[in-house]
Amino acid sequence: MYVELRQKKIDVFAVLVSWLSIISCPGVNSGAADVHKHLEMGRIHLENRQFSDALTHFHAAVEGDPENYQIYFKRALVFLALGKYNQALKDLDKVIELKSDFTPAVLQRANLLLKQGQLDKAHIDYENVLRKEPGNIDAMTGYGAVDAALRDLEEADYYVKMPDCHTALELLSRLIETCPWDPSLRRMRSECYMNLGDAQHAISDLRFTTKLVIDDTDGLYRLSSLLYQLGDVEESLREIRECLKLDPEHKHCFPLYKKLKKLDKSMQGANAAGEKEEYGECVADVKKALKVDSHTPPIVEWKLRHKLCWCHLKNGEGELAVEQCTIALKSREEADVLCDRAEAYLLNDLFAEAIEDYRRALDVDEDSRRARDGMQRAQKLQKQSKRRDYYKILGVKRSASKQEVIKAYRKAAQKWHPDNFQGDEKKQAEAKFIDIAAAKEVLTDPEKRAKFDQGEDPLDPEGQNQGHGHGFNPFTHFHFAGGSGPFHFKFQ
Q: Is the pLDDT of residue 266 over 70?
A: yes
Residue 473 has pLDDT above 60, yes or no: no
Average pLDDT, the chain: 85
DSSP letter (8 states) at residue 463? S
Q: Which amino acid is at 213?
A: V
Task: Cite the DSSP H helix spans in 23-102.
Answer: 33-47, 51-64, 69-81, 85-98
| Judgement on whether residues 73 and 121 belong to the same structural domain of the protein | yes
Same domain, 362 and 413: no
Domain assignment present for 257: no
Task: Check residue 17 and give its pLDDT.
Answer: 55
Q: Residue 480 belongs to what H/E stretch?
A: strand 478-481
pLDDT beyond 70 at 13: no
Examine residue 256 and state whether it is found in any structural domain, yes or no. no
Here the CATH number for the domain that contains residue 476 is 1.10.287.110
Q: Tell me: do 411 and 306 sit in the same domain.
A: no
Sequence-distant (≥ 6) Cβ neighbours of residue 123 within 8 angstroms: 143, 146, 147, 150
Reported as a pLDDT band with limits 50, 70 and 90, residue 411 is confident
Q: Which of 367, 391, 415 is the last residue of a domain?
A: 391
Averaged pLDDT, 385-403: 80
Q: Residue 12 forms beta bridges with which residues?
A: none
485 pLDDT above the threshold of 80: no
Average pLDDT over residues 193-198: 90
Amino acid at 37: K
Task: Identify whether 222 is part of a domain.
Answer: no
- Mean pLDDT across the stretch 79-96? 90
Q: Are residues 75 and 31 in the same domain?
A: yes
Confidence (pLDDT) at 102: 93
460 and 322 in one domain?
no
Asked whether residue 359 is assigned to any structural domain, the reply reads: yes
pLDDT > 90: percent of the chain: 54
Please tell me whether residues 383 and 421 are part of one structural domain.
no
Residues 384 and 410 both lie in one domain: no
Cα 390 from Cα 443, distance rounded (Å): 7
Contacts of residue 170, Cβ cutoff 8 Å, sequence gap at least 6: none
Same domain, 137 and 37: yes
Exposed e or buried b per residue across 71-81, where buried means at least 16 C-beta atoms within 10 angstroms of its C-beta: bbbbbbbbbbb
Q: What is the DSSP letter of 24?
A: P
Query: Which range, of 111-125, 363-377, 468-482, averages the lowest pLDDT?
Result: 468-482
What total number of domains does the chain contain? 3
124 and 10 in a common domain: yes
Same domain, yes or no: 354 and 453: no
User: What mean pLDDT comes out for the span 184-191?
Assistant: 93
pLDDT tier at 489, thresholds 50, 70, 90: very low
Q: pLDDT tens digits for 108-119?
A: 999 999 999 999
Structural domain contains residue 237: no
User: Of 138-142, 424-428, 429-433, 447-451, where does the model show the most confidence?
Assistant: 138-142
- 329 and 441 in a single domain? The answer is no
Q: Name every residue whose Cβ is closer than 8 Å to that of residue 192 and which is 6 or more positions away in sequence.
A: 160, 163, 165, 168, 169, 172
Reported as a single tens digit per residue, the pLDDT across 307-353 is 999 999 999 999 999 999 999 999 999 999 999 999 999 988 899 99
Judge whether 210 lies within some domain.
no
Distance separating alpha carbons of residues 345 and 316, to the nearest angstrom: 11
Query: Residue 99 class from Cβ within 10 Å (0-12 exposed, 13-18 middle, 19+ buried)?
Result: middle
The whole-angstrom separation of Cα 105 and Cα 121 is 14
- Asked if residue 368 has pLDDT above 50, the reply is yes
Q: Are residues 342 and 379 in the same domain?
A: yes
- Residue 206 within a domain: no
Rounded to whole angstroms, how far apart are CA atoms 357 and 363? 10
pLDDT at 490 over 50: no
**Domain-terminating residue out of 364, 391, 418:** 391
Range of the domain at 88: 2-182
pLDDT in tens, 222-247: 999 999 999 999 999 999 999 999 99
- State the pLDDT at residue 483: 39
Of 400, 402, 390, nearest to 456 by C-alpha is: 390
Last residue within a domain, chosen from 134, 163, 182: 182
- Which helix (H) or strand (E) is 490 found in, with range? strand 488-491
pTM for the full predicted model:
0.65
DSSP label of 475:
G
Establish if 270 belongs to a structural domain: no
**What share of residues in the chain are helix, strand, coil (percent, to 5)?**
75, 0, 25
For residue 141, give the CATH number of its domain.
1.25.40.10
Residues contacting 29, CB < 8 A, separation 6+: none
Say what angle helices 137-161 and 183-195 make with each other, to 10 degrees: 40
